[in-house]
């Protein structure tokens, strides 16, 4: 997320050179690498660890498991809304201060999550967590781009990404173990001591980058975007009620559309909009964003649905359900080794067209599962599904940069991250609404039937995303996966 502020190339280069001069060898920034890796690990862990504990948390808070969707969507939606503000915050207040505050706010939000006694209290604490988490990955990536020498950058980013993947692998397993053998509150409370160490490391290791003349933040545009996103998610809450409040839901949708239209009008007149919609004139950009949105709308709720299916529908323990989620992460990691060669051979259009349809087929295959399906078969299906999803995520996330000038990379990265988290929040909401609509009774058999029909609907939605990727131009095959840096 390099800044888009008005600053001369010479002064920016001098500032970067001066900063790198203070770090002449890799040993001098090992602390920074550990700090950013810990932040990536903590956020990845927190994004997956909660799903396994949903039934236990719902029971403790006297809620049904499907009612817990707001505790998941509120965190992801907060990330989507606040990520666009990260570049300006760094320019205005400095990377060390922003990153330190982000870690502190995340830790405080985690503490409040662990102390929550009701679902509304948990939701508010998750929002606070999201306020801190929104800056962790963007700021961490930005600092590494500006600090690490080119020759070490790929290796360093690989190390950092590995910690993020490790968090996603350990999250479900650790969540299941904590719920089964201790208390669900430890899932959140573990972040507190990690946050304290993180604040200390930040003070010692984080370099300070800021601009003396940062441009004015687009507050009006930011508020329009935030209002539109929040109102759409609120409308989905009304849709999930047992007695749907049609008037309230319609009013919220119309208000959301109105705020969204107002942002489109505003962004065309603002000098520095939080999301530059002019980039959508590039075909690969709008295909990447819209395809990403539709794909994640279909797949983002699957993690929660599988956990509910295994624990509530099949009677598995939290630990065993968490263990069954590990193959998905391992499949995703394995697929990353094949991405570059497959992309070189097929190109973006053919790869995304075919892989999206394969993901849809894999989703539909989950409808064949039942309480008596062998554990090894479920693990194999989850692993293969994770492999196709790992391929899909990697290719979708790099498509947006293929036809852009490097000067637009920062804005494109911010828009891609915002779209990713926004679609994840709506995807989780959609999956739980479908499940709740198709659920007739609270017994295990009803959950299995509802799960089967839900994944079929989600498979159809995912398959529709292939039509978006079909709009890509037929180009010569790619030579490599482009870097967002």
pLDDT at 381: 94
pLDDT value at 15 more than 70: no
Give alpha helix (H) positions in 300-403. Answer: 302-308, 318-335, 339-365, 375-399
Per cent of the chain over pLDDT 90 is 18
pLDDT, one tens digit per residue, over 81-99 is 888 888 788 878 888 899 9
Q: Which residue has the higher pLDDT, 455 or 152?
A: 455
Question: What is the domain-level CATH number for residue 400?
Answer: 1.20.1250.20
What pLDDT score does 56 carry? 86
CA atoms within 13 A on the CB side of 178: 22
The answer to which of 68-77, 146-155, 382-391 has the lowest mean pLDDT is 146-155
pLDDT value of residue 243: 60
What local confidence, expressed as pLDDT, does residue 16 receive? 41
Instruction: Return the half-sphere exposure (C-beta side, CA atoms, 13 A cut-off) of residue 13.
Output: 3
Better-scored residue on pLDDT, 129 or 239? 129
**Averaged over 178-197, what is the pLDDT?**
88
Task: Name the nearest CA neighbour of 173 among 325, 27, 286.
Answer: 325
pLDDT of residue 443: 74
pLDDT band at residue 5 using 50, 70 and 90 as cut-offs = very low
Q: Are residues 299 and 200 in the same domain?
A: no
Give the structural domain span for 465: 276-485
Residue 23 — pLDDT band, cuts 50, 70, 90? very low
| Sequence-ordered list of residues with C-beta below 8 angstroms from that of 212, at least 6 positions apart, any chain | none
Q: Is 265 exposed, middle or buried (0-12, 13-18, 19+ CB in 10 A)?
A: exposed
Statement to judge: residues 289 and 394 lie in one domain? yes
pTM recorded for the entire structure: 0.77
Whether residue 6 lies inside any domain: the answer is: no
Residues 65 and 28 in one domain: yes
Could you tell me if 177 and 253 lie in one domain?
A: no
Give the confidence band of 473 by pLDDT, cuts at 50, 70, 90: confident
Say yes or no: 380 and 440 in one domain: yes
What pLDDT is recorded for position 7?
40
410 lies in the same domain as 332: yes
pLDDT at 404 over 70: yes
- CA 218 vs. chain centroid, Å, equals 24
pLDDT at 241: 60
In the predicted model, is pLDDT for residue 204 greater than 90? no
Domain boundary among 227, 254, 271: 271
Q: Are 458 and 299 in contact (CB under 8 A)?
A: yes
Q: What is the pLDDT of residue 361?
A: 95
Are residues 121 and 27 located together in one domain of the fold?
yes
Q: Is residue 4 part of a domain?
A: no
Task: Please identify which residue in the block is written with the tokens 């939290």.
Answer: 318
* 17 has a pLDDT exceeding 50: no
Residues 185, 59 within the same domain: yes
On whether both 309 and 375 belong to a single domain, the answer is yes
Query: Is residue 465 in a domain?
Result: yes
What per-residue confidence (pLDDT) applies to 107? Answer: 92
Same domain, 331 and 350: yes
Q: How many domains does the chain have?
A: 3
pLDDT band at 33, cuts 50/70/90? confident
Q: Which of 234, 252, 271 is the last residue of a domain?
A: 271
Q: Are residues 87 and 207 in the same domain?
A: yes
Separation between Cα atoms, residue 124 and residue 362, nearest integer Å: 35
Residue 291 lies in a domain: yes
Of the listed ranges 348-352, 365-369, 402-406, the one predicted with least confidence = 402-406
pLDDT per residue as tens digits for the range 408-456? 766 777 787 788 888 888 888 888 888 888 887 777 788 889 999 999 9
Does 166 lie in the same domain as 46?
yes
Token readout for 164 is 């993020």
Residues 295, 302: Cα–Cα separation, whole Å: 12
Residue 235 is inside which H or E element, if any? helix 219-239
What band does 460 get if pLDDT is binned at 50, 70 and 90? very high
Rg (CA), the chain: 22
Instruction: Note the pLDDT of residue 121.
Output: 93
Listed residues 181, 199, 215: the one ending a domain:
215
Q: Measuring CA to CA, how many Å separate 5 from each of 109, 215, 474?
A: 31, 6, 36
């Amino acid at each position: 997320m390099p800044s888009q502020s008005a600053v001369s190339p010479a002064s920016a280069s001098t500032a970067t050179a001066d900063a790198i001069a203070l770090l002449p060898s890799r040993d001098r920034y090992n602390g920074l690498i550990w700090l950013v890796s810990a932040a990536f690990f903590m956020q990845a862990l927190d994004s997956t660890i909660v799903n396994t504990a949903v039934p236990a948390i719902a029971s403790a808070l006297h809620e049904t498991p499907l009612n817990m969707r707001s505790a998941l969507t509120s965190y992801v939606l907060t990330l989507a809304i606040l990520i666009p503000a990260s570049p300006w915050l760094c320019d205005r207040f400095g990377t060390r201060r922003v990153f330190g505050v982000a870690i502190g706010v995340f830790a405080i939000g985690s503490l409040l999550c662990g102390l929550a006694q009701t679902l509304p209290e948990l939701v508010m604490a998750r929002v606070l967590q999201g306020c801190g988490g929104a800056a962790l990955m963007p700021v961490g990536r930005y600092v590494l781009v500006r600090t690490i020498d080119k020759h070490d950058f790929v290796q360093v980013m690989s190390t950092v990404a590995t910690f993020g993947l490790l968090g996603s692998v350990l999250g479900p397993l650790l969540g299941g173990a904590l719920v089964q053998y201790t208390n669900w509150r430890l899932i959140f409370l573990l972040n507190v001591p990690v946050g304290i160490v993180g604040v200390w490391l930040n003070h010692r290791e984080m370099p300070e980058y800021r601009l003396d003349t940062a441009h004015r933040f687009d507050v009006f545009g930011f508020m329009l975007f935030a209002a539109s996103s929040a109102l759409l998610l609120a409308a989905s809450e009304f849709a999930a009620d047992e007695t749907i409040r049609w008037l309230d839901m319609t009013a919220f949708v119309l208000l959301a559309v109105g705020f969204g239209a107002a942002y489109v009008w505003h962004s065309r007149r603002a000098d520095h909009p939080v999301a530059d919609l002019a980039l959508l004139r590039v075909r690969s950009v709008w295909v990447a964003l819209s395809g990403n949105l539709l794909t994640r709308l279909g797949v983002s709720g699957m993690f929660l649905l599988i956990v509910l299916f295994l624990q509530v529908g099949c009677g598995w323990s939290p630990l065993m359900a968490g263990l069954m989620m590990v193959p998905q992460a391992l499949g995703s990691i394995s697929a990353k080794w094949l991405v570059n060669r497959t992309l070189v051979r097929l190109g973006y259009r053919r790869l995304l067209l075919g892989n999206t349809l394969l993901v849809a087929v894999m989703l539909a295959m989950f409808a064949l599962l039942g309480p008596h399906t062998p554990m090894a078969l479920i693990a194999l299906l989850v692993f293969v599904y994770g492999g196709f999803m790992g391929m899909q995520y990697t290719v979708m996330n790099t498509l947006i940069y293929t036809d852009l000038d490097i000067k637009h990379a920062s804005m494109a990265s911010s828009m891609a991250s915002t779209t990713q988290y926004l679609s994840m929040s709506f995807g989780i909401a959609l999956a739980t609404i479908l499940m709740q609509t198709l659920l007739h009774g609270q017994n295990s058999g009803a959950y299995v039937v509802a799960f089967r029909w839900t994944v079929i609907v989600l498979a159809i939605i995912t398959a529709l995303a292939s039509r978006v990727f079909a709009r890509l131009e037929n180009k010569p095959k790619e030579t490599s996966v482009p870097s967002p840096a």
